[in-house]
Structure 1
Amino acid sequence: MTATKIAVIGGSGLYQIDGLADADWVTVETPWGAPSDQILTGTLDGIQMAFLPRHGRGHVHSPTSVPYRANIDALKRLGCTDVISVSASGSFREEMAPGDFVIVDQFIDRTFAREKSFFGTGCVAHVSVAHPICPRLGDACETAAKDAGVKVHRGGTYLAMEGPQFSTLAESKMYRESWGADVIGMTNMPEAKLAREAELCYASIAMITDYDSWHPDHGEVDVAQIIATLMGNADKGRDLVSRLPKLLGTERAPCPHGCDRALEYAVLTAPEARDPALVAKLDAVAGRVLSAP
């Protein structure tokens, strides 16, 4: 059994979690640079927690400039076992209305200006992201949302766009009608891919703020309306997060879906051919397999 340590990555509107005992903002250094901000650590209902504001306090990072590798490395380095991503999103579905939450289970990655892997020349690895969300964490998030009185939808495909601009009308219609996406955002990729490489269980909660630009009765995205909806969503998001420790418990067995063993057969570069400098950078995220005899 492993001691549970829950990490929450907060998106737009969610910059803290309340009620942490022994709360402390800690600085974590990583070989991939500085994370988005210091990380708030503490305990909630006896469970260790870590909170990272994805955009930094004061919202200083754009979706493209978020240091995704440093963020995931820092959480792994702190001993986190489970990562819950909370992010503002647009909806492509009438029934997924502003104010609703969606427990995402699939992604379409349309980002193009971000580093998407910890691995590369000198240490090559290929992990599966066929099922990028840990169903066990998804179950906990769904239960927590319902207990918090949030209207929640289980399952949905998240279209990750580069941003920072919102979609054109033509793009919005294509993502919705041709590609079958359900929600759209700018930050869950490459975050989910990196969490899988770091052998961390990962779940994503999309907090719906708008209908993107496809909806004939709502027109283009209205930033003022988004901000107003964000505030309400953030309160519900904090309530949801506060319910997770009791649901996940103080200890956890190996992930039944194998998230914590994603690198078991993923590294292809022979030990004698690996770049020592890159291997050193991978000490936190891949030390379990790279240090094995």
Structure 2
Amino acid sequence: MSRGDLTDAQWDRLEPLLPPIPKMGRPPRDRRQVFDGIWWRARTGSPWRDLPERYGPWETAYAVFRRWQVDATWTRILTKLQVKADADGIIEWEVSVDSTVCRAHQHAAGARKKGLTPGRPREDGLAAEPDDHGLGRSRGGLTTKIHLAVDASFHVLAAVITAGQKGDAPAFEQVMARIRVPRTGGGRPRTRPVHVLADRAYSSRAIRSYLRKRQIPHTIPEKRDQAGHRLRRGSAGGRPPAFDREMYKRRHKVECRFALLKQARGVATRYDKLAVRYEATVQLALIRQSL
């Protein structure tokens, strides 16, 4: 076993979550070996062609990585881990929402954009490949942004990929919509946190109205310009939004989760051309760190 590979205990937890082995066709390669190879690429950020020989052909590792992205296997594995954590009472449902910007390598650029119909169905049928491929250009070069919803026990409940220059507030409802943890005893999946924590980037009237409509308590500081505008209006400006400074200190959980996630160099720097591939890399890192 090489550094970074699955231990026997981790493989015992992961193996039941994998899709069944096809009964027809060529016998599949050792799936533990293939998974370790896929994770090696995400951990090191190396090109697929540089995969060490101990993991088998790089074409096999990439084919499995792509196929499991297309048929949403990575999404299902991550959901199963969330279900088990919720059934064990580990998920605390106090959710912190934030985003982080990741540099995109020049190899991540160049995906076809002409002829790409905005909102076309994604290969796995869950969402659409954005027409900008989740890449944006700023003074720092090509960047992409990861939005996370993290509970108080560091479990990631939702992840969304957007271009790096896009704001946090417009993606908030999309992140919240991704929170969907099925229940082991049946019934509707759980989608509503008991509390939401976010920084000033999410201090908008639309977001506060959205949370009040869903009856979700929240702790979001008010921006200075918003407070000044409210004070200038006098009594017509209304009361300031409630803010618990001690509760707000718990928001550091999402920052710590970003730091842990970026230990995978394939996440800290984006090398994937398509947003759906990069999202699969993020899901792979979350799965590996949850075992």
Q: Same fold (TM over 0.5)?
A: no
Larger radius of gyration: 2
TM range (shorter): under 0.3
TM-score (norm 2): 0.28
TM-score (norm 1): 0.28
Q: Which has the larger helix fraction? A: 2
Q: Which has the larger strand fraction? A: 1
